[in-house]
Amino acid sequence: MATSQYCTFHLGSLLLGIDVQQVQEVVRPTDTTRVPLAPPVIRGLINLRGHLVTAIDLRRQLGLTDPPPADPPMNLIVRTAGEPVSLLVDAIGDVLEVDSGVFEPPPETLRGPARDLVRGAYKLPGRLLLTLDHDRAVAVATDPPPA
């Protein structure tokens, strides 16, 4: 049976995963420079060894309303067509190997922006692993902000 590897991470009570092939690296909490007037899902810019990386607040991107933990978020650096982008998450989990037999489309209970981002769920023993579409996860609506 076909298996896939996912880099898992936590956001509130959710266990989420991104295709491990798309993850460049994980960076500990780092100084983030906010970008005023940018869309709210953009938390700011970080310096990744001399490269500018945009940090995206995945909690806002998913439309989660639970309060973020007190600890600063981790940076999950994801490869994209252009420059790498950082997804800010609460904590990093393990890399899990899952088989496609336990995969199902997104549960009906999932609503709001998360529905577009979640590809589906793997029914793991005791909990669900929601996998994200990495391209959509890093996409930002590029409407100019109100002046």
Partner 1 sequence: MAELDAIVREFLVESHENLDQLDRDFVVLEQEPDNRDRLASVFRAIHTIKGTCGFFGFGRLEKLTHVGENLLSKLRTGELALDGPITTALLGMVDAVRAMLTTVERTGHDGESDYPDLIETLTRLQVPRPADTVAEPPTPPPTPPRTIGEVLVSQGKVTPAQIQEAIDQQRRGDPLHLGEILVEKNVVKVGDVRDAVHTLKDTRPAAADTSIRVDVGLLDRLMTLVGELVLARNQLIQFAAAVKDGGFHTATQRLNLITTELQEGVMKTRMQPIGNVWDRFPRVVRDLALACGKRVRLEMDGKETELDKTLIEAIKDPLTHIIRNSADHGIEPPELRVARGKPAEGVLRLRAYHEGGQVNIEVSDDGGGIDPDRVRRKAVEKGLITPDRAARMDDREATQLIFLPGFSTAEAVTNVSGRGVGMDVVKTNIEKVGGTIDLHSRPGLGTTLKIKIPLTLAIVPALVVTAGGDRYAIPQVSLIELVRLSGPQARAGVEQVSGADVYRLRGRLLPLVDLAAELGVPASAEPDDVTIVVLQAGDHRFGLVVDAVSDTQEIVVKPLGPQFHGLTVYSGATIMGDGRVALILDVPALAQAAGVLTESRDRGPADTAASPVAAGGERQTLLVLGVDPDRRMAVPLSSVARLEEIPPAAVERADGHEVVQYRGHIMPLVRLNGQPAGGPLQVVVFAHAGRSVGLVVDRIHDVIEQEVEVRHPGRQAGVIGSVVLQERVTELLDVRGLIAAADPFFHAPAIAG
> For binding to partner 1 (CB under 8 A), which residues are involved?
31, 33-39, 42, 44-47, 50-52, 54, 56, 82-83, 85, 138, 140, 142-145, 147
Name the residue nearer to partner 1 (CB basis): 63 or 84.
Answer: 84
Name the residue nearer to partner 1 (CB basis): 8 or 86.
Answer: 86
Name the residue nearer to partner 1 (CB basis): 56 or 129.
Answer: 56
Amino acid at 17: G
Q: How far is the CB of 40 from partner 1 (least distance, A)?
A: 11
Q: How far is the CB of 106 from partner 1 (least distance, A)?
A: 25
Name the residue nearer to partner 1 (CB basis): 108 or 143.
Answer: 143
Name the residue nearer to partner 1 (CB basis): 15 or 89.
Answer: 89
Nearest Cα neighbor of 118 from 135, 109, 128, 106 is 106
The DSSP secondary structure of the chain, one letter per residue, reads --EEEEEEEEETTEEEEEEGGGEEEEE-S---B--TTS-TTEEEEEEETTEEEEEEEHHHHTT--SPPPSSPPEEEEE--SSS-EEEEESEEEEEEEEEGGGEESPPTT--TTHHHHEEEEEEETTEEEEEE-HHHHH----PPPP-
Q: How far is the CB of 7 from partner 1 (least distance, A)?
A: 22
Q: How far is the CB of 108 from partner 1 (least distance, A)?
A: 31
Q: How far is the CB of 88 from partner 1 (least distance, A)?
A: 14
